[in-house]
Amino acid sequence: MAADIAHTPDEARRDIARGARTIDYTPNAFNHQPARYYLLWLMLPAIIVLAGISLYPFFWLIYMSLHEVQLAPGKSDIWVGVDNFLRLFSDKKFASGWLTLFKYSALCLSIEVGLGVLVAVILNNSRLEKVLVTIFLMPMMMAPMVAGFLYMFLYNGTFGWYFWLLRSVGVLEGGTILGDRGWAMFAVVATDVWQWTPLIALITLAGLKRVPQDQLEAHMVDGAGEIRNFISVTLPNLYPFLLIAILLRFMDNFRFIDTILIMTGGGPANATKILPTYLFDVSFKFFELGRGAAIAFTLLLLTILLGLVLTKVFEDPARKLKTGGGG
């Protein structure tokens, strides 16, 4: 019977002429192409969209940083060369913006990591772990700008509960919280700490679950106490997790400025004017978009640097973080 099967188009036509029934069947068209073209087609839409909203604007950013951008219709941009960048060197607010950014991040990160690890260690394997973790999650879901308003309300000098609390405890002499140079910084840091300490605690908890129990036991058999055990077994196992937590939080510290923008706008007297806030003022308050582009460019360089570190961290230990350990 096999001989009756048509092998060539001519034979097929002959069979059809003889009255053979045809069935509509295309042998898997996709499968005949090399897989890479198929995968390329799948990738392409996302890559094109992403290029359109990230690469194209990036080239625009470079163009803008070399021009004095005119927003009024009909006017064309004025070429100024690297003037926008040169001006940054003499710009005191630019330098202090970087300093304030690092100060803000250092404060946020040290408090968040300290508190977060403490909370995680206490919660780990406790009876209330599930319930408490769920409660601690709630601030993270809040829009940062809402958190900003909420804390502004709490800090208010006439009816704010935190203001009252600080006065009652006796740390705050008088004046207002957000109007005082020293207090304002701590006030915005406290908001960030309130929202994001739980995230660090969650990451640490995930890490604690993966601390190999046999290592802990072996160390105990060797006569180590609990504190010793924590320092020389648990903590080293936590490092990759803490590193990721710190990198991500640092990144978010300059990605989002909603809270600062709402609460202080960078004031008082630039005490909380971290660089992105300054960039916001330059670009969208004074609309000096050329200068803004130059500042944005420096900020993006930091991003790229962080990106390099993050891809490294994510790649190798990522496997370890997900599967490794005794968990």
CB 27, min distance to another protein, A: 10
- Using the contact rule CB under 8 A, the part of the chain among 85-93, 104-112, 114-122, 264-272 near another protein is 114-122
Q: Sign of the C-alpha dihedral, residues 53, 59, 61, 63?
A: negative
232-251 positions binding another protein, by CB under 8 A: 241, 244-245, 248, 251
256-285 positions binding another protein, by CB under 8 A: 256-258, 261-262, 276, 279-280, 283-284
CB 18, min distance to another protein, A: 28
- Is 228 near another protein (CB under 8 A)? no
| E strands, the chain, in order | 67-68, 78-79
User: In the complex with another protein, which residue's Cβ is closer, 12 or 313?
Assistant: 313
Residues 6 or more apart whose Cβ sits within 8 Å of residue 242: 113, 117, 203, 204, 207
7-36 positions binding another protein, by CB under 8 A: 28-31, 35-36
289-308 positions binding another protein, by CB under 8 A: 289, 292-293, 296-297, 299-300, 303-304, 306-308
139-198 positions binding another protein, by CB under 8 A: 139-147, 149-151, 153-154, 158-161, 164, 167-168, 170, 194, 198
Peptide bond into 73 cis (omega under 30): no
User: In the complex with another protein, which residue's Cβ is closer, 184 or 193?
Assistant: 193
Distance from chain centroid for Cα 174: 37
Give the count of beta carbons closer than 10 Å to the beta carbon of residue 157: 15
- Is 117 near another protein (CB under 8 A)? no
- Using the contact rule CB under 8 A, the part of the chain among 14-22, 79-87, 89-97, 312-320 near another protein is 312-320
CB 136 within 8 A of CB 142: no
Can you tell me the distance from the alpha carbon of 242 to that of 155, in angstroms, rounded to the nearest whole number? Answer: 31
CB 133, min distance to another protein, A: 9
DSSP state of 142: S
CB 162 within 8 A of CB 177: yes
79-108 positions binding another protein, by CB under 8 A: none
List phi, psi (to 5°) of 5: -70, 135
